[in-house]
Amino acid sequence: MSDEILDEITASDYKYGFTTDIESDTVPPGLNEDVIRLISEKKNEPQWMLDWRLDAYKTWLAMVEPEWHNVTYTKPDFQAVSYYSAPKQKKELDSLDEVDPELLRTFERLGISLDEQKRLSGVAMDVVVDSVSVATTFKKTLAEKGIIFCSMSEAIQEHSELVRKHLGTVIPKRDNFYAALNSAVFTDGSFCYIPKGVRCPMELSTYFRINEANTGQFERTLVIADEGSYVSYLEGCTAPSRDENQLHAAVVELVAMDNAEIKYSTVQNWYPGDAEGKGGVFNFVTKRGICERNAKISWTQVETGSAVTWKYPSCILKGDNSIGEFYSVAVTNNYQQADTGTKMIHLGKNTKSTIISKGISAGKSHNSYRGLVRVGARAENARNFSQCDSLLMGDQCGAHTFPYIEAQHPTAQIEHEATTSKIGEDQIFYCNQRGIGTEEAIALIVNGYCKDVLNQLPMEFAVEAQKLLEVSLEGSVG
Amino acid sequence: MIKINNLQARVEDKEILKGINLEVNPGEIHAIMGPNGSGKSTLSSVIAGREDYEVTGGSIDFEGEDLMDLDPEERAHKGIFLSFQYPVEIPGVTVSNFIKTAINESRKGRGEEPMKAREMLAKMREKTALLEMDKSYLSRSLNEGFSGGEKKRNEIFQMAMLEPKLAILDETDSGLDIDALRIVAGGVNKLRTADNAVVVITHYQRLLDYIKPDFVHVLFNGKIVKSGGPELAHELEEKGYDWIKAENA
Amino acid sequence: MTDLAQDLLSSFVVAEPQLNGSRNLGVVHLRKEALDRFEAQGFPTTRDEEWKYTNLKPVLKHDYRILLKGDDAVSFADIKSYLLSDLDTYKLVFINGKYSSWLSDSTHQEFDVCTFAAALNKYPDIIAEYLGKGAPKGETFVDLNTAFADDGAFIRVKANQTVDKPIEILYLTTNENGPAFSQVRNLIIAEQNAEVQLLERHQNIGDQPSFTNFVSEVFAARDARVSYYKVQNDSDEATLVDNTHVVQKEQSNVHVGTYTFGGKLVRNNLHFYSAGERAESHMDGITIIGDGQTVDHHTLVDHQEPNCYSRELYKGIYLGKSHGIFNGKVMVRQKAQKTNAFQQNDNILLSDKAKVDTKPQLEIFADDVRCSHGCTIGQLDRNALFYLRSRGIPKREAEGLMTYAFAADALEYVKIPQLEKRLNRVIAEKLGINLEFAL
Ligand SMILES: Nc1ncnc2c1ncn2[C@@H]1O[C@H](COP(=O)(O)OP(=O)(O)O)[C@@H](O)[C@H]1O
Ligand SMILES: [Mg+2]
């Protein structure tokens, strides 16, 4: 990707107003060059990787934590984060009896198998063996097609040139505060390469990956779909992970070369904090993909977890005829806050993008859609359609819509629509009359409302996502 | 089966039902007629447990049990079905998913096992055939973009699936063309047994030509002002409501 | 701090004692505080979210004269074309911010149609009650205006009165002596069940740059009805920052129409505060601009009370190297249940050098509301175009006809037929179409 384009995207005029207040004391004593050297050394990384990290670190030092988003939280103490112990070993429990019973109840509602429950709650058993063997089986099938699917650490060792060529090309180190931090200190993540013309025969999921459960706060994912290839990638766990980590600052980069297609689905369900708004994960994620000629990237996300979410999976439609899609459901309840959306940057000719966003706010939560559609001066015949709907449950919550639309070409066709609604009492009564209780009725109506997005998810995922919506809205009707 | 005694109800400050008495026994068909705004839909909503209406007096017994403290869904579980005058749209929820949820929730409410998927499918097939509905109905969003007639037919389809003891059909005939009317009425008739009962709310004799009532009641200004046999419906068809209004002025 | 800001601050000392209302302590205070806030903030830059797309630098750089003098040389013939000549109206004409009594036609009979300057002296109680209560403190242009504004229109319609003819307000800038920076201000009060129609225009009649920083506060009491039309067709050298703030009480109905064709840079900050139940707010606009022009519509509807309705429709047609900006925010506060808010912004780009940035926003804090916004950027409907051509209408005419129809859609609420006709003519002229044919 040429520097010119990168500049166009990251140039200072588009930052939603990154501004103000340089806090001189934000340089955390917990993080310094030695720590980064240590991480790199522990992981036995090549020199270029270390240099890259150090450069990112220098960039980060000069940056300010963003404040333009519509969320309020106590800023993480970067000092308190232990970067070098990244792949945190969780305390191993001896049996399910030691697991928080509330967590187990949720597992049951989600219909997760006992073995799976054990794996997710970190009970020591043959799980590791299991997943290793599962992983190896799949790895063999994948290897036959030339597909590389491994941890980022492994990729840096085994496929150094590929990583080096693409890492940071979609999301430069200087892109934003959290991306810079991630670039400096990321500990692991996934790497995926689909060779030319190969259609990946199965959904790739982080589930199958070794070490996944303990990947640290700073995850780094890179998916490369070479010319004419196809891959569907699933990320996230569909059970609430009571992670102690306060801050998750992941970076995901997608490269879709000519005629390639990447489908990236996320179900995010980190710990949202309790009903009083205590605790919970800060989820500050940077996700972006670049499309070359005739390529297509499709982001689908179901966001129900985290105390604070800040996330804009985006597409740079660089190649002619490329397509970007964003399908999102974001649910906030209690004191959760979500500021999420997408950026569709149309650079090539005949590029197309679609945005479907469904926000649901309940309790005392705040849910914001923030998006950008930009049609560049050379993007002849660009098309965009956006639909951003909000559903409010109760009068203590808020729904916000902040779309930015910038068009610089007369042939651009952009359509944006947004609506706000609530669940009608007549709808609930109708369901009641047919024997469906109110809580169940709300789940049904909400699932219907989100259908256009849920339909984009792979089958198994969709079912779990549906249940997840139910669980996260539990108790939201008074 | 159901015994309504001096039922009074209001919305905010407005008295709508002013002392309704009605008894329906298993196997019977009752028709309720009356001018617009007389309280027919209110009566059916109150029986179904709609909370917008405040019951200020009287009682409703269903199979010997007082209904007043029951939630709408509990009443449904007991076998009360209301075909809505204005069925509600629920975007994104398919007819089949909705009816599946309704059946299984009702079963759960009665302490029964969920219906087996195969049985459910067979039943859906049977009932769509009964009402001469295309199976593609099942995968459409509930009532969304349905024509008036489709909505009403879909109500009767749900009734067929749920097999209630007492079905109240609130102007189910309005919006139906002649063929649809015949099909829907035929469906209702086929679902009849000695154990269930139907209350039909309508303005027109033509529905009663298909669903033959044992009793006809005239509801006017919140009260049942006249009851009789099927001949009463004919009389109303001929003379309109003016003489009722005059008599009760 | 820019030179201009610096100049403004230092000239305040000189200006202040001469300003109208300088004997009214409350006003003196208001001005002083406003100036302090301006000093703290200065002029906005593109780093401010609200000015992200509009760069003021090029228009702030001129060496403006700040303390302007009236101009006696202007005759009625000079300004005739800016008035609705075929209609009897009240007229308030200001030249370089000074009231021109011989060009004006004011009244104190049943209602006050007079000047802000007069009101400052004549009605201290009203000034104390209303001045600065509509336009929010902390908005830098509003503050700057509060500090300096000396004159403008003062209109007060007492309860149950209907003003018998429209009121035309014309602000002229002459600039033989170089670039002029003028700050004028309206105070418009429609008391309970009163009705008034206003027509307003800012006009630079010279070839030097001008910068007008304008504030208009409108108060519509219970059941009041206000129609307020802004015709913005200024010269290529003129910059206008229009800050119009409308406060509405129960069941009032206010319509603000903004029709923008001229000017180098026009920024409209139009805010509605829906502060009484069942208030109705309408705002619409047509923008047709070309080479070197920038028009920025920033609207806010702040729904504070239940059962209110707002409707917003802005149409933009961009030719040449022009830049259109729309930023529309609809806010529904927790208390404002059953709000019904509608917003639509449609744009057509007719040149590959034109640019549009639009940002519709919803901020909803109440659950039982119906709010929607929509925005489109695109071209004429190809099917409709084909339909017209298949009926024998040549392509150029068909396009003109459709573009015209696209814009004229936003004229629906104009209640003065003469104005509607005139706007139609301007639109047709701008689009280069034959109106006889189009109509
Ligand atoms: N939710 C409600 N709020 C206010 N008035 C109502 C409501 N429901 C019914 N009513 C009024 O009660 C009267 C009876 O209405 P309804 O039961 O619908 O009559 P019918 O079905 O016989 O035409 C009408 O005057 C109607 O306007
Ligand atoms: Mg009725």
**pLDDT digit string (tens) for C52-93?**
999 999 999 999 998 888 777 888 888 888 988 788 999 999
State yes or no: pLDDT of A138 exceeds 70. Answer: no
Predicted confidence (pLDDT) per residue in C295-330, tens digit: 999 999 999 999 999 999 999 999 999 999 999 999
State yes or no: pLDDT of B36 exceeds 80. Answer: yes
Distance of CA B216 to CAs B195, B227, B236, C4, C318, Å? Answer: 20, 6, 10, 87, 69
Mutate to test the pocket of ligand 1, among B15, B42, B54, B244 (most ligand atoms within 8 A of CB): B42
Closest ligand to C-alpha of residue B174 is: 2
Q: Which of the four pLDDT bands, split at 50, 70 and 90, describes residue B37?
A: very high
Mean pLDDT of A302-312: 88
Going across the sheet that includes B54-62, the strands are: B14-24, B2-11, B54-62, B65-66
- pLDDT value of position A14: 21
In a domain? residue A168: yes
SS3 A180: helix
Closest ligand to C-alpha of residue B51 is: 1
Q: Whose CA is nearest to atom 7 of ligand 1?
A: B11
Q: How do beta strands A296-303 and A261-268 pair?
A: parallel
State yes or no: pLDDT of A210 exceeds 50. Answer: no
Tell me which of C229 and A250 has the higher pLDDT. Answer: C229
Predicted confidence (pLDDT) per residue in B122-178, tens digit: 999 999 999 999 989 899 999 999 998 999 999 999 999 999 999 999 999 988 999
Q: Determine which of A295-304, A344-353, A388-397, C268-277 has the lowest per-residue pLDDT on average.
A: A388-397
Is A156:A46 a contact under the CB 8 Å cutoff?
A: yes
Output helix, strand, coil percentages for chain A, rounded to the nearest 5. 30, 30, 40
Q: Which of the four pLDDT bands, split at 50, 70 and 90, describes residue C286?
A: very high
- pLDDT value of position A280: 78
Predicted confidence (pLDDT) per residue in B52-64, tens digit: 899 999 999 999 9
The CA distance from C9 to C6, in Å, is 5
Is A431:A405 a contact under the CB 8 Å cutoff?
A: no
Residues of chain B with C-beta less than 8 angstroms from the C-beta of A432: 49, 71-73, 76
Which residue of B75, B92, B106 is in closest CB contact with A448? B92
Q: Does A444 touch chain B (CB under 8 A)?
A: yes
Is A372:A387 a contact under the CB 8 Å cutoff?
A: no
Contact assignment for A433 to B82 by CB distance below 8 Å: yes
Q: Whose CA is nearest to atom 8 of ligand 1?
A: B42
In a domain? residue A472: no
A430, A442, A447, A466: best to mutate for the B interface, most B CBs within 10 A: A430
Chain A: residue whose CA lies nearest to C346: A415
State yes or no: pLDDT of A478 exceeds 70. Answer: no
Q: Which of the four pLDDT bands, split at 50, 70 and 90, describes residue A166?
A: very high
**CATH placement of domain B2-247:** 3.40.50.300
Chain B: residue whose CA lies nearest to A442: B90
Residues of chain C with C-beta less than 8 angstroms from the C-beta of A418: 360, 362, 372-374
**Tokens describing residue B236:** 């109303």
B40 Cβ below 6 A of ligand 1: yes
Q: Give residue B169 CA to ligand 2 midpoint distance, Å.
A: 10
Tell me which of B33 and A68 has the higher pLDDT. Answer: B33
Predicted confidence (pLDDT) per residue in B215-224, tens digit: 999 999 999 9
State yes or no: pLDDT of A220 exceeds 80. Answer: yes
In a domain? residue A97: no
Which residues are in the CB-under-5-Å shell of ion ligand 2? B 40-41, 85
SS3 C300: strand
Predicted confidence (pLDDT) per residue in A81-132, tens digit: 666 543 333 444 555 565 556 555 555 555 555 555 554 443 322 222 233 3
The CA distance from B173 to B169, in Å, is 9
B138 Cβ below 6 A of ligand 1: no
The CA distance from A407 to A115, in Å, is 52
Number of residues written out for chain A: 478
Q: Which of the four pLDDT bands, split at 50, 70 and 90, describes residue C270?
A: very high
- pLDDT value of position C69: 83
- pLDDT value of position A103: 54
In a domain? residue A103: no
Atom of ligand 1 nearest to the CA of B44: 17
In a domain? residue A456: no
In a domain? residue A174: yes
Comparing C-alpha atoms, which of B203, B141, A400, A105 is closest to residue C331? A400
B36 Cβ below 6 A of ligand 1: yes
In a domain? residue A111: no
Predicted confidence (pLDDT) per residue in A368-410, tens digit: 999 999 999 999 999 999 999 999 988 888 999 999 999 999 9
Atom of ligand 1 nearest to the CA of B45: 17
B83 Cβ below 6 A of ligand 1: no
What total of structural domains would you count in chain A? 1
The CA distance from C209 to A244, in Å, is 62
Q: Does A436 touch chain B (CB under 8 A)?
A: yes
Q: Name the E strands within A90-245.
A: 148-151, 190-194, 204-205, 220-225, 230-235
Q: Which residue range is the domain that position A180 belongs to? A: 13-88+140-423
- pLDDT value of position A368: 92
Number of residues written out for chain B: 249
Q: Give residue B219 CA to ligand 2 midpoint distance, Å.
A: 11
Q: Does A33 touch chain C (CB under 8 A)?
A: no
